[in-house]
Amino acid sequence: MNIFSEFWATYGSVVQFALINMLLGISIYFTLYTGLLSLANAGFMGIGAYVSAALTIHAGTPFPVSLLVGALSAALIGWLLGLPVLRLRDVYLAIATLGFGEIVRITAVNFDKFSGLTLLGGAQGLDGIPKLTTPVSLLFVLFILCIFLVQLHRSRAGRALAAIRRDESVAATMGIDVYQYKLLAFVLGAFVAGLAGGFSAHLTRFVGPNDFSFSAAVNILAFAVLGGTLHWSGALVGAAILTILPEALRFMKEYRGIVNGVILVLVIIYLPHGLVNPKWIRGIFRRKEAR
């Protein structure tokens, strides 16, 4: 017990960050699994963080309510953004979502000035958020999410998303409403990113306008790409490795940016399916069924 508490005192926050990053990895997995490169997730995380933090501080709502409203706000904005931009094809979608984090930043910085309220704290950000995120709450949400993902992939909707990634026009000629399903994946991703934002705000006790920039979007992308986007567990593995490794290896912390970048390039070139290959997982299940 003593050893455990000692371990927790040193590494507890790292574990919690890893769990939050797993949520973020899953948030971008939804779109990547559908074959969409959206770089808006850092922005959605920002929306979830700001909304939930402002609710907790200014309205005193219970943590689960703040969290849920934050995530729903991110999903709503995701829906509004997705309506026009998901009509665009590959490169254009990436371009259209690239600047979204910047819009969130500009809005956060200027919101108080233009509205005359003191809600988001302008350029200074929101400070003094109560620390309400617990490892148990994170694990609980992650667990629910994993069950949801398992069920999603067994369902009609999950098959439609997989079909769209492989061949959009063939999927369409099979009666799949490609646009609506893309919107579904996009909004689901926004919701989960919003959740992650809420957890993060109530863990670090701070939300600033500069936390959701392009480099944050790239970090999230790296989680999913390293782990692989053919199976949802890839996002978990990728997030865990990229959060814990820099803590374990000092040099990696200093060069975190370079490591992330090199990983993106190397994985895409030499390991296009990422670390987690669904064939192995299916193989394990087969063996079980055969028994």
Please work out the total of residues on this chain that contact another protein, with binding judged by CB under 8 A: 66
Segment 238 to 277, residues that bind another protein, using CB under 8 A: 255, 257-258, 260-265, 268-269, 272
User: Cα separation of 2 and 76, whole Å?
Assistant: 45
Reference 29, options 174, 175, 196; nearest CA is 196
| Least Å from the CB of residue 50 to another protein | 18
Residue 284 sits in the site that holds another protein (CB under 8 A): no
Closest by CA to 185, choosing from 212, 211, 163, 214, is 163
The nearer residue to another protein, 132 or 184, going by C-beta atoms, is 184
User: Minimum CB separation from another protein for residue 7, in Å?
Assistant: 31
Residue 71: CB minimum distance to another protein, A: 16
Which one of residues 91, 136, 284, 290 is an interface residue with another protein (CB under 8 A)?
Answer: 91
Task: Find the helix or strand (DSSP H, E) in which 213 lies.
Answer: none
For the segment 98-137, give every residue that binds another protein (CB under 8 A). 98-99, 102-103, 106, 109-110, 113
Residues 26-85 that bind another protein (CB under 8 A): 32, 35, 37, 84-85
Copy the structure tokens of residue 175.
Answer: 């009666």
DSSP symbols for 83-123:
HHHTTS-HHHHHHHHHTHHHHHHHHHHHHHHHH---SS-GG
In whole angstroms, the minimum distance from the beta carbon of 53 to another protein comes to 23
Q: How far is CA 28 from CA 37, 132, 141, 185, 219, in A?
A: 8, 25, 17, 9, 11
For the chain, how big is the Rg over CA atoms in Å?
A: 19
Q: In this structure, how many other beta carbons lie within 10 angstroms of the beta carbon of residue 103?
A: 14
How far apart are the C-alpha atoms of 275 and 224, rounded to whole Å? 10
Interaction of residue 11 with another protein, rule CB under 8 A: no
Q: Which residues pair with 207 in a beta bridge?
A: 126
Smallest distance from another protein to CB 15, Å: 25
* Positive or negative torsion for Cα 49, 52, 54, 57: negative
Identify which of 181, 127, 137 has the alpha carbon closest to the alpha carbon of residue 23. Answer: 137
Q: Of the two residues 87 and 131, which places its CB atom closer to another protein in the complex?
A: 87
Residue 12 binds to another protein (criterion: CB under 8 A)? no
Q: Please state the φ and ψ torsions of residue 130, each to the nearest 5 degrees.
A: -60, 145
Q: Please, which residue, 134 or 210, has the CB nearer to another protein?
A: 210
Residue 176 sits in the site that holds another protein (CB under 8 A): yes
**What string marks each residue from 194 to 213 as x (binds another protein by CB under 8 A) or -?**
-------------------x
Helix (H, G, I), strand (E, B) or coil at 248: helix
Q: Does 170 bind another protein (CB under 8 A)?
A: yes
Q: Which of 184, 192, 239, 240 touches another protein (CB under 8 A)?
A: 184
Contact residues for another protein, defined by CB under 8 A: 32, 35, 37, 84-85, 87-88, 90-92, 94-96, 98-99, 102-103, 106, 109-110, 113, 147-148, 151-152, 154-160, 162-163, 166-167, 169-178, 184, 213-215, 218, 221-222, 225, 255, 257-258, 260-265, 268-269, 272
